[in-house]
Amino acid sequence: MRVVLVGPPGSGKGTQAKLLAAHYGIPQISTGDIFRASIAAATEFGRRAKHYMDAGELVPDEVTIAIVRDRLAQDDTAPGFLLDGFPRNVPQAEALRGILDELGTPLDVVLELQVDDDEVVRRISGRRTCRKCGHLWHVEFDPPAVDGVCDVCGGALFQRDDDLPETVLRRIEVYAEQTAPLIGFYREAGLLRSIVATGQVDEITKHAVDALESAN
């Protein structure tokens, strides 16, 4: 199965991507993870990506497309893949279609996770990251035993720049401007399935699997 997962920031794409990839035995390809690894390693690309991410902007298409092209050409994607965080706009979607045409592996389904703006801000602005081990906590949904201290390693927790409320609001604006048109693009292609991504994680996963199975 070849799947693209779309939805606003904070819609649970990362969580559902991991669960769905494991369910179908296919690799999860997350551009966000690639970006963050590059930032942590202080590579030239990481510095470029951080500039855009901290401002709530998208990393330039040409950089993102090149990374995805290389990843999709690897052998472990032969049984399928789940793309999380790409494409984020119509030009990227057109580039992806070209890449998959070259590989002879057309897309099967695009799953949209629907979450309203207030819930997005609530989810993202409550995140706290451990400076030492990188573990992610949430002040409301998954708080540490001691405020500001990681239960795993005792490291200090902080709020990433791209999780600040003002940055989250900008990210929502960017999504509406650049990513939301993907919905129409994939609906016209007959590939779109949509679910409401609120509630318990396992319930959302069940709805997601049902939607994917209906597409196949």
The stretch 127-154 carries a mean pLDDT of 95
| 13 part of the active site | yes
Q: In the prediction, which pLDDT does 42 show?
A: 83
Ranges 29-38, 131-140, 178-187: which has the least confidence: 29-38
Distance, CA of 116 to CA of 197 (rounded, Å): 9
Q: How confident is the model at residue 44 (pLDDT cuts 50, 70, 90)?
A: confident
Per-residue model confidence as pLDDT tens digits over 166-207? 999 998 998 888 888 999 999 999 999 999 999 899 999 999
Per-residue model confidence as pLDDT tens digits over 69-108? 878 888 999 999 999 988 988 999 999 999 999 999 999 9
| 36 part of the active site | no
**Residues 13, 71, 128, 193: which is the catalytic one?**
13
Closest CA to 140 of 123, 152, 156: 123
| 97 part of the active site | no
Structure tokens at 212: 């994917």
- Helices (DSSP H) in 88-200: which residue ranges? 90-103, 117-125, 165-174, 181-188
Structure tokens at 169: 């609001």
pTM > 0.95: yes or no = no
Cα of first residue to Cα of last residue in the chain, in angstroms, is: 9
Prior bond of 87 cis (ω within 30°): yes
Distance, CA of 211 to CA of 216 (rounded, Å): 9
**Residue ranges per structural domain of the chain:** 2-215
Q: In the prediction, which pLDDT does 150 show?
A: 97
Percent of the chain whose pLDDT exceeds 90 = 65
Kind and range of the H or E element at 158?
strand 157-158
Distance, CA of 130 to CA of 77 (rounded, Å): 32
E runs forming strands in 71-155? 81-84, 109-114, 127-130, 136-138
**DSSP 8-state code for residue 135:** -
**DSSP 8-state code for residue 138:** E
| 170 part of the active site | no
Architecture of domain 2-215: 3-Layer(aba) Sandwich (3.40)
**Residues 88, 123, 128, 193: which is the catalytic one?**
88
Q: Half-sphere exposure of 57 toward its Cβ, with a 13 Å CA cutoff?
A: 9
| 171 part of the active site | yes
pLDDT at 125 over 90: yes
